[in-house]
Amino acid sequence: MNESPTGADYFTDPLGGLDGKQWDEMARDRFYSSAFWLRLCDLEPGGISGGLHVNLPGGQRAAVPVIAVGDNTHPNARWRELLAARGLPSPPDHGILVGQRRGYLAHVLASEGADMAAAASALLDEVRSCCPPVPGNAPARVALYLTTPDVLALREAGARAMPVALAADAWIEIPPDGWDALLASLSSHRARRIRSEVRSFHRAGYRVEHRTLGDAYADVARLAFQVEQRYGRADSIAPYLAGFRLQGQFAGPRAEVLLCSYDDGPPVGCCLYYRDGDTIYLRAVGFDYGRLRGAAEYFNLTYYIPAQMPGVRRLHAGIATPDGKALRGAKLQPLWLLDLASDSVLESCENEARAHNAAFRAELASLSPAVAAAMPAELWETFF
């Protein structure tokens, strides 16, 4: 193995030439930065997956997952569209994305006990000097969906652009005493609502089956396609069948599915998730809307049933529908876009970026008191 890779060497494979054990010693419990997940993401088109890593004193390492972004850009890597939607200028379309195609959660990774300031500084230098294997001059260096602590570390290391708020990432913490303790931690009104939704689901006569994605990919594709079709985001089921089949083949028993039925016909609902340690990462849901019985199927399949599984202490619920998630006990953490270039076009727009960040949080908080209470000020207000 080349201990000091440069340039395109980082893009020889999703881990930049490291083996899975070496990478996961840095990723640890960050599932969406794990060797498994990065290799799964590499199955999808839209850029060249890589892993940028640097050596630190004492035999330690630091790393970030990266994608070389060219003309065939994955939708989740289109930073120009994200910035334009917020009224902000953008770096070039091509270059290096720090992050991964799927998961909406990126971190600075380092060996346990490493100095994070030194790790962020070394990685920032390497990101800026690395030449991505895509055509074009003056390539961009953009990180997407970073957490607040990771943004602070890279800003301290010299990334001067103001970060831009992209999303609210939802996490539901389950107390050691489990489901009943979770309900007890909520207001009486919210706890009653959840209990009512659980009773409604049971009264509807639903049968829930636990399968692997490899066994159930056709049902997952059919149901997920119906969700996307309903919201005008899909017009063919073929990519869903191919994608979920390939994902199921790669992931094996790690890709788990809850299927919901009430008769001998095909399932009417599904939830695809991954379990890593005591945490469940919710990945996809699907429903045959015309056959549902109006019994809170979404919330039961995605939150209530997973939260009651033995040994589960956290649910990562992602970035959509923050209101519904906060009402059911989620905390909402901000995720950011950070331009890592030494001459970022966003440096001259600091006031505009701060105004967007404040307005974004205010708009979320206006959804409900539960959402407002679910957003820790120390994470959200740092970049107002």
More confident residue, 359 or 2: 359
pLDDT reading at 320 higher than 70: yes
Give me the number of domains the chain comprises: 2
pLDDT reading at 75 higher than 90: no
Collect all residues with Cβ–Cβ distance below 8 Å to 161 and sequence separation of at least 6: 338, 339, 340, 341, 344, 346, 347, 353
Do 25 and 164 have their domain in common?
yes
Evaluate whether residue 376 is within a structural domain.
yes
Do 77 and 149 have their domain in common?
yes
Report the CATH number that the domain containing residue 253 is assigned in CATH: 3.40.630.30
Cα separation values, 366 from 20, 54, 353, 373, 375, Å: 43, 43, 20, 11, 12
Do 215 and 95 have their domain in common?
no
pLDDT at site 35: 98
Rounded to the nearest 5 degrees, what angle is found at the Cα of 68, between the Cα atoms of 98 and 56?
A: 50
pLDDT (tens digit, 9 = 90+) per residue, 272-319?
999 999 999 999 999 999 999 999 999 999 999 999 999 999 999 999
Do 163 and 179 have their domain in common?
no
Evaluate whether residue 85 is within a structural domain.
yes
Evaluate whether residue 247 is within a structural domain.
yes
Buried b (16+ CB within 10 A) or exposed e, 13-27: bbbbbbeeebbbbbb
Evaluate whether residue 49 is within a structural domain.
yes
Evaluate whether residue 326 is within a structural domain.
no
pLDDT (tens digit, 9 = 90+) per residue, 4-15?
555 668 999 999
Do 128 and 38 have their domain in common?
yes
More confident residue, 70 or 31: 31
- Determine how β-strand 314-318 pairs with β-strand 279-287: parallel
Do 21 and 163 have their domain in common?
yes
Q: What is the extent of the structural domain holding 248? A: 175-312
pLDDT reading at 253 higher than 60: yes
- Residue 167 CB neighbour total at 10 angstroms: 22
Do 160 and 183 have their domain in common?
no
**Measured on CA atoms in the order 262, 325, 273, 165, is the torsion positive or negative?**
positive
Do 108 and 186 have their domain in common?
no
Do 299 and 350 have their domain in common?
no
pLDDT reading at 3 higher than 80: no
Evaluate whether residue 28 is within a structural domain.
yes
pLDDT reading at 2 higher than 50: no
Do 149 and 180 have their domain in common?
no
Cα separation values, 42 from 97, 101, 282, 354, Å: 14, 8, 19, 34
pLDDT (tens digit, 9 = 90+) per residue, 149-182?
999 999 999 999 999 999 999 999 999 999 999 9
Do 268 and 346 have their domain in common?
no
Evaluate whether residue 354 is within a structural domain.
yes
Q: How far apart are CA 293 and CA 59, in angstroms?
A: 58
Evaluate whether residue 32 is within a structural domain.
yes
pLDDT reading at 115 higher than 70: yes
Do 195 and 306 have their domain in common?
yes
